Structure 1
Amino acid sequence: MPLRLIFMGTPDFAVPTLRALHAHGHEIVAVYTRAAKPAGRGMKLQPTPVERAARELGLAVLTPSTLKTPEAEVEFRSHKADASVVVAYGMILPENILNAVPLGCFNLHASLLPRWRGAAPIQRAIMTGDAESGVMVMKMDVGLDTGDVAMTDRLPITDEMTAQDLHDALAPRGADLMVRAMAALEQGRLALTPQDEPGVTYAAKIGKLEAKIDWTKPAREVLRHIHGLSPFPGAWFEVEIDGAPVRIKVLRCELAKGSGAPGALLDDRLTIACGSGAIRLIQIQRAGKQPMMAADFLRGTPLSPPLRVV
């Protein structure tokens, strides 16, 4: 029989999993997500991507501000779910909630645990130069991404991948993985394996100070830093245009030939020297403007040596 599931998630990354579980016949008895927040020019309340998808599917939506009250536990138990599926919910589940469903709570995490436990696994994997990433289904416990792992799907990381690219590749893979995990759970054959503690690393939230590009680093490290922060918050540098400093985010780049002082412009195609080697900018975003291809930017704002960026 299909499982009775509580789904808990918030951003775009969680939507494919919600839709896939619903499409495969599981009964989604409640969808928990974060409350709508004001956004846009009019600062109107904007529901989360998961809330929009859930309402489209005709599912009940709850947006509690906390799960730590007795009332929250009573409501959670009242759904009489077999299990809960959690995908980037954004709220810590206390132990009484984890124990409130008989088969447990299962989290989809976008890393190869125990590497990159925590808030920013996709960004950290790219920024650190990892050769691969992936998604894992984990049975949750009270620790931070410390639970036993049920299933894994691996994906190579190339130098061309941005955080958005990796996010978009992992989301549907994660949905398929969770569907398979719930099918195995339904049949009583979901095997769990403890994480290997010696391999633990933590993916801390991205800090604002990390976004400035350090041109003294080798070209590949600069590229991975840029791609790991694309599109948000966006790695940036400043360059003087018409006598004033202008901040420019770099959204996509590639390794290039050439060398020079770190930050030196090497040609009129936005090739910039790093500590060793160079990168060429492909897509950028000037402060207050829309993203654009570097070639289009240069048509309106030609830049050439001996200019340097900082």
Structure 2
Amino acid sequence: MIAVPVGPGDTATDLFHRTVDLIAPIVAEALDLIASGHTGWTPQDRSKASFFHKRSIEDSNIDWTWPAEDIERLVRAQSDPYPKAFTHYKGECIRILKASVSKGHLRWHPGPGVHPRGRRHRYRRRRRGPPWPQPRPGDRTGPHPGRGRPAVR
């Protein structure tokens, strides 16, 4: 057995690249041991064995009710060469390539969201309209405020 270090931000892709070159020497060593008859077979105790279902594409679907740390781990685990983590937005399947847990505290979320402690909650905005100020008649607009043409003629 060969130990490979696993860091807190490592993805499945990182581990794949770290271990792929170890496959050939391990297989060659195992075949030599089998050929020489010096194998140390260990019978498996079926009462202590655990089983897991065959992976399906739904295993990569992000469950937004999970804590942020678990979602971030799922995204790191579902990277190349394996199917990527995904979610659906407005009827489209979106593949998530990278995720991180925010260190800050968000004041509100638009629409249905996830409570910081994992509970479903509906956050509401306090005012209507876009979150940026809207131009008023007479304001100058354009890429350089104050130098564009008047908004209203």
Report the TM-score when normalising by structure 1: 0.31
CA 188–255 in structure 1, closer or farther in 2 if over 3 Å, else same = same
Considering only aligned residues, what root-mean-square deviation do their CA atoms show, in Å? 3.5
Match of 2:41 among 192, 195, 209: 192
CA 185–201 in structure 1, closer or farther in 2 if over 3 Å, else same = same
Larger Rg: 2
Aligned to 2:14: 165
Aligned length: 116
CA distance in 2, matches of 1:276, 1:155: 34
Aligned to 1:256: 102
CA 199–162 in structure 1, closer or farther in 2 if over 3 Å, else same = farther
CA 202–171 in structure 1, closer or farther in 2 if over 3 Å, else same = farther
SS at match of 1:204: coil
SS at match of 1:175: helix
Aligned to 1:201: 50
Equivalent position amino acid for 1:226 in 2: V
Counterparts of residues 191-230 of structure 1 (less than 5 Å): 191-230=40-79
Counterparts of residues 147-186 of structure 1 (less than 5 Å): 152-186=1-35
Aligned to 2:84: 234
Question: How far apart are residue 251 of structure 1 and its match?
Answer: 2.0
The sequence identity of aligned pairs, in percent, is 25
CA 246–260 in structure 1, closer or farther in 2 if over 3 Å, else same = farther
Deviations 1:116-162 (A, max 9, x none): xxxxxxxxxxxxxxxxxxxxxxxxxxxxxxxxxxxx33434433232
Report the TM-score when normalising by structure 2: 0.55
Q: Which has the higher contact order (CA 8 A, sep 6+)?
A: 2
Question: How far apart are residue 260 of structure 1 and its match?
Answer: 4.7
Equivalent position amino acid for 1:234 in 2: K
User: What are structure 2's unaligned runs of at least 5 residues?
Assistant: 119-130, 132-153
Greater share of residues in strand: 1
Question: How far apart are residue 276 of structure 1 and its match?
Answer: 4.3
CA distance in 1, matches of 2:77, 2:68: 14
Counterparts of residues 16-55 of structure 1 (less than 5 Å): none
